[in-house]
Each structure stands twice: as C-alpha cells, then as structure tokens.
Amino acid sequence: MGSTTGPRGRVRRLVTGAVALLAAASLVTACGSGDGGSDGGGDGRAADANGVDDGTTLTMWTRAATRPQSEALVKAYNASHKNKIELTVIPTDDYQAKVGAAAGSRDLPDLFASDVVFVPNYTTSGLFADLSERVDALPFAEHLAQSHIKAGTYEGKKYVVPHTLDLSVLFYNKELYRQAELDPAKPPTTLEEWDRHARAVDALGGGVDGTFFGGSCGGCGVFTWWPSIWAAGEDVLNKEGTEAELDSATAKKVYETYRGWVKDDIAAPGARDETGTTWTGVFPKGKVGVMPMPSTTLGLMPKDLDLGVAPIPGPGGGKSTFVGGDAIGIAATSKSADQAWNFLAWSLGDAAQVDVVAAHKDVVARTDLASNKHSAADPRLVTINQLVADGRTPYALKFGQTFNDPNGPWLTLMRNAVFGDGASVDKDNKAVTASLAD
C-alpha cells in the first residue's frame, strides 16, 4: 500500500519516478562527458599549501555515523576562519544513494566525506578533484593514516585525506567483570577467552547479557567480525578485491563462536534483528559484558560507565582492527577548491588534531601525533591509537553492493553461518565472490 490516490497516484508515482530517473540520467550524461572535470577544481597549482581563507561559504556532506567528529571540526574551523562551512548530515544508509544522485546532477557539495570503503567507487568515477600536489606539500604528509590515503589513490593520484578514523575495538564493562569475578584489568586476548568472559558475565542473569552484535547488518559484520579473522593472520579478500576468502577455517571458527552465543542466548536480545541502526546503543546501557564497538563512540559513553578498551582478538590470539571511518575530498565540480583545501589542510594540522580530534577521545589521523597530551591522560586512547598499525582497510570496488547491501550476499552468509547451522558457508562465499567480480 503505497498510494492513497490510486491510479492517479500510480501515474504520478510513475511520472515522479520517471522524472527522477530522467533528471539523474541526463545529468549523469552531462557529468560523464566532462571527464576533464576530474581535476577541474584542484589542479594543485595553489602556491600556498594552506589554501585560501577569504570568507567563502563552503558546503560539506557527511554521514550520520561520524557526525560528532565532523561537527566538532567544522565548529572549530568556523570559529577561527573567515570561510564558513555549512555541514549537512545524511542518514548513513542513504549516503551512497544521495552521493550517486548528486553526482549525476552535478549537485555535489564542495567537500564530501565518505565511508573509506566506498572511496574507490568515487575515485574511479572521477567525483573527487586531484589533491596529489596539495597533499604531498603538507609537512606531515608521510604521517597521514596510510590506509585511508591508499584507499583514495587511483592511478597514482591522491584524491582524499583522512577525515575521521573509526576503529573497531572491544569495549568491556569493568563493573560487570568484577561482579562475574573476572579481572577487570585483563580483557580477553583470544577469541576463546572472549567467549569465556561473555559466558561468565551472561551467567550473572537479571537482564545482563554476555555480548551483542548486529546480526542483520552487513556493515557491522565486516567491521567487527573481520578483525578476528585478520588477527589470526588470515585474509578475507584477495588483493584486487575480486575474490572472497570468507570460507577459511579461521573464518569458520569465528562464525562458530558467534553461533554459540546465539544458541546459548549469550547475545543480548535483538541481535538477530539488529539492522545497524541501534547496535551501538546497547552497550552504553551497562547490561552487556564485552562486545566490539566503533572507537568513535568512546567519547559518547556515559560518564559513570566503567569501561575498558581492548583490541579484537582472533582464534588463538593476535589482534587487529578495521581501520574505517571517513575519508574526505573536494568534489571535482567545486568552484572553491582553494578554500575547501584551506579546511582540509587545517583539519590535519596539529591544532585541529590535538585540540579537537584527540580532545574528543577520537583517533588522530596522523601517526606522529599518536601520543599527545590527551592520549597520555587516557590509556584507552593509547590502546586505540596504537592499533592503527595492526589494522586493515579492505579494498573492493563492489564493496557496498556486496557487503553493505541489506539484500546482498554477505549478509546471507553471515546469517546462515550464525543463525543457521553454518553448513552453507562455502556456497555463500561463492556468491560473495560472484558479486565482487560482477
């Protein structure tokens, strides 16, 4: 039941749909034919590595998942510069569609951040301006988070810089650990230990659960399960991102552990239905023992929640993390590339990184600032900052449609492996490969 207006509504619907498609299409053509536009705004000629601050109003988009980080940076920039940035936050699930449609109609903002895994989509389609010379001219260029720079390099040109780093790490509730007679100073260092801890906390009862995960959220699975596979030295994709290796013995061991949590009710209720919208909202309620969380949520946790942070371990040990978050670039269509660069250069400088990013308990985008006055005060931040070196950012051109699509093949694999009996992993892995090579 979509329409209350019947056949008229149907016609209108078709018309609207057709018009939308028409608009998108004609403008896509316009964009596609302007190949040269990819270096239109940022030809890197600007002599001043800091760009221009002349009171221009710039537009910028980011997704809801990294809103607090973007907002803090924009607020600090607007307060100290003549340029003004108007930030628009778009629901995470709709971000790809929104950028796609805007790219078609050449309506992209001056600056747009993107989940780092989708960046290859945009660089190969020429949506970002070339920033190579500007980036290389930065005095700290070599210290920028390389996994983000790598994701945004296409045919030897650099198109993006790191904007917010979001790492997957284990959060554990020290208060519940004490109650379960576990040592709050000793978070799990292997998947098996994590399993034991979760079960011990779950045994407390009274609405307390061992762990939690987004069981209907492909992006959550990628972000929180893959580090366990990487930690054991195994890979999940081939180098070109065209073949899945999600059926390895290590991967199966990881699925099996999660399957046990479902079977024995160790995971908090709702894990099966969790589509990713509320998955980070469960831990802060203080009723979950130990679960992987995005590092960007550390600064948002309730003050009275006694939580510890640890790397995500794999079967038999090891540690890894998914170096996610957003990279940011200047739209190829932007007319204010010099002004936009002024914001980017500033956002990576010492002042912004330490006084805004680190002060917010977030991961800094530069390895040379990994230990700073804020991280020194909170050992949890040191744990997270040091993890950047052990983490990975997977690369695949078809990442979104394979892993983030709620009707895509990876979510099928996840759910069969964890809520089913796990017998179809090999078959499902083939479907993932088919989608990657599509």
Partner 1 sequence: MQVKAPDRAPAEHRAPPEHRARRSPTSTPLWRSRKVQGLAYAAPTALFVAVFFLLPLLLVGQMSLSDWPLLAGDRGGNAPENYTDVTDSPLFWPAVRFTLLYTVIVTVVLLGLALLLALLVQESRPGAGFFRTVYFLPGALGLASASLLFWGLYSPTTGPLSRTLEKLGLVDEPVSFLGTPTSALLSTVFLVVWKFAGFYMLILLVGLQRIPHEVYEAARMDGASRAQIFRGITLPLLRPSLALSLLLCVTGSLLAFDQFFVLTKGGPDNSTVTIVQLIYREAFQRLNLGTAAALSIIVLAALLLLNVLQFRGLRHADES
CA distance 319 to 313: 5
Query: What is the footprint of partner 1 within residues 306-325 (CB under 8 A)?
Result: none
Dig out the tokens for 64 from the structure.
Answer: 């809801």
Minimum distance between the CB of residue 284 and partner 1, rounded to whole angstroms? 12
Residue 173 as a binder of partner 1 (CB under 8 A): the answer is no
CA distance 409 to 418: 14
CA distance 116 to 147: 9
Residue 404 as a binder of partner 1 (CB under 8 A): the answer is yes
SS3 244: strand
Contact 215, 240 (CB under 8 A): no
Residue 397 as a binder of partner 1 (CB under 8 A): the answer is no
Q: List all residues 6 or more positions away from 366 whose beta carbon is below 8 Å from its beta carbon.
A: 140, 143, 144, 145, 348, 353
Residue 24 as a binder of partner 1 (CB under 8 A): the answer is yes
Task: Write down the residue that tokens 């160790």 correspond to.
Answer: 266
How many other CB atoms sit within 10 Å of the CB of residue 356?
Answer: 19
What's the 3-state SS for 291-336?
EEEEHHHHHHCCCCCCEEEECEEECCEEEECEEEEEEEEEECCCCC
CA distance 293 to 213: 9
* DSSP 8-state assignment for residue 355: I
Minimum distance between the CB of residue 114 and partner 1, rounded to whole angstroms? 12
- Among 59, 69, 401, 429, indicate the residue that binds partner 1 (CB under 8 A): 401
C-beta closer to partner 1: residue 127 or 144: 127
Minimum distance between the CB of residue 346 and partner 1, rounded to whole angstroms? 29
How many other CB atoms sit within 10 Å of the CB of residue 17?
Answer: 10
Residue 282 as a binder of partner 1 (CB under 8 A): the answer is yes
Contact string 186-225 vs partner 1 (x = CB under 8 A): ------------------------------x---------
CA distance 21 to 15: 10
Minimum distance between the CB of residue 405 and partner 1, rounded to whole angstroms? 4
Task: Write down the residue that tokens 């998108």 correspond to.
Answer: 24
- Among 210, 329, 391, 400, indicate the residue that binds partner 1 (CB under 8 A): 400
Q: Which amino acid is at 48?
A: D
Pairing relationship of beta strands 312-314 and 317-320 according to DSSP bridges: antiparallel
C-beta closer to partner 1: residue 51 or 215: 215
- Count of residues interacting with partner 1 (CB under 8 A): 59
Q: List all residues 6 or more positions away from 138 whose beta carbon is below 8 Å from its beta carbon.
A: 49, 144, 345, 348
Task: Write down the residue that tokens 């989708």 correspond to.
Answer: 118
**181 to each of 60, 102, 207, 370, 430, how far by Cα in Å?**
49, 54, 18, 34, 44
C-beta closer to partner 1: residue 104 or 318: 104
Minimum distance between the CB of residue 412 and partner 1, rounded to whole angstroms? 7
Minimum distance between the CB of residue 287 and partner 1, rounded to whole angstroms? 10
Query: What is the footprint of partner 1 within residues 28-67 (CB under 8 A)?
Result: 28-29, 31-33
- Among 75, 379, 406, 427, indicate the residue that binds partner 1 (CB under 8 A): 406
Minimum distance between the CB of residue 121 and partner 1, rounded to whole angstroms? 7
- Among 105, 189, 238, 412, indicate the residue that binds partner 1 (CB under 8 A): 412
Contact string 349-388 vs partner 1 (x = CB under 8 A): ----------------------------------------
Minimum distance between the CB of residue 353 and partner 1, rounded to whole angstroms? 32
- Among 57, 80, 88, 278, indicate the residue that binds partner 1 (CB under 8 A): 278
Burial 400-427 (b: 16+ CB within 10 A, else e): bbbbbbeebbbbbbbbbbbbeebeebee
Query: What is the footprint of partner 1 within residues 255-274 (CB under 8 A)?
Result: 268-270, 272-274
Cα 142 from chain centre: 22
- Among 11, 300, 376, 389, indicate the residue that binds partner 1 (CB under 8 A): 11
Minimum distance between the CB of residue 270 and partner 1, rounded to whole angstroms? 4
Dig out the tokens for 346 from the structure.
Answer: 């500033």
How many other CB atoms sit within 10 Å of the CB of residue 368?
Answer: 13
Minimum distance between the CB of residue 14 and partner 1, rounded to whole angstroms? 7
CA distance 226 to 322: 7
Minimum distance between the CB of residue 330 and partner 1, rounded to whole angstroms? 17
Contact string 86-125 vs partner 1 (x = CB under 8 A): ----------xx--xx-xx----------------xx--x
CA distance 163 to 332: 18
Give contact residues for partner 1 (rule: CB under 8 A): 1-11, 13-15, 17-19, 21-22, 24-26, 28-29, 31-33, 96-97, 100-101, 103-104, 121-122, 125, 127, 216, 268-270, 272-275, 278, 281-282, 400-401, 404-408, 411-412, 415, 438
